[in-house]
Structure 1
Amino acid sequence: MADQLAAKLQQEEQVDSPTTTLGRIGEIVEKATGVESEQVTAGTSPSDLGVDSLSMIEITVRCEEAFGVRLDDATVLGFSTVGEFADYLDEHAAAEA
């Protein structure tokens, strides 16, 4: 299933991608859940966005592809806000670059 999702992600066009990590996460959340990216703020929790377990898997895979960071379930489930997740991605994307 992850391979199929990765293939789908590669086919999607990247038009007017935001430049901040938080903005990029917002677009990923919008694609996975339909929640408008503007509703995704640093203080927003996944439950505030109505993210279910399947959506979280899709968001995780999309973020791995977009940021080049490997994410495990325990790490992803440990974040209480989108801002914490964005900070983690910033730190680890720089380390893996």
Structure 2
Amino acid sequence: MSENQNTLNTVREMIVDRFGVQEDKVNAEMTFEDLGADSLDVVELVMELEDHFNIQFDDERIEELSTVGDAVRYIDELK
């Protein structure tokens, strides 16, 4: 399994836990808007991702993340 797929699986689990969506509905193309996430929800998810992966998101990049796949790719860049 690729590093990107491992990251996606972890992010998917965290999204399922936080937003209560079905795991099979979460994919790389899903937007945070699809999740019903507002800006505070996204910030809280980012903080959880930073803690889990021991990374620090750049505030400007957070605003550019629109899909789950965007977040996964950015996490993999920072690891």
**TM-score normalised over the length of structure 1:** 0.67
Q: Using a 3 Å threshold, how does the CA distance of structure 1 residues 73 and 33 change in structure 2: closer, same or farther?
A: farther
- Displacement of 1:83 in angstroms is 0.8
Q: Kindly report which structure 2 residues correspond to 1:8-27, keeping only aligned pairs within 5 A, or say none.
A: 20-27=6-13
Equivalent residue letter for 1:62: E
* Match in the other structure for 2:47: 61
Equivalent residue letter for 2:66: S
- Displacement of 1:21 in angstroms is 0.6
* Match in the other structure for 1:32: 18
SS of structure 2 residue aligned to 1:89: helix
* Match in the other structure for 1:88: 74
RMSD over aligned CA atoms reads: 1.6
Which moved further from structure 2: 34-43 or 21-30?
Answer: 34-43
How many residue pairs align between the two structures? Answer: 75
Compare CA radii of gyration and give the structure with the larger one.
Answer: 1
> Larger relative contact order (C-alpha < 8 A, sep ≥ 6)?
2
> After TM superposition, where is structure 1 displaced by more than 6 Å over at least 4 residues in a row?
none
**TM-score normalised over the length of structure 2:** 0.80
Name structure 2 gaps, 5 residues minimum: none
Name structure 1 gaps, 5 residues minimum: 1-18
* Match in the other structure for 1:75: 61
- Displacement of 1:80 in angstroms is 2.2
Equivalent residue letter for 1:81: T
Q: Distance in 2 between matches of 1:57 and 1:43?
A: 19
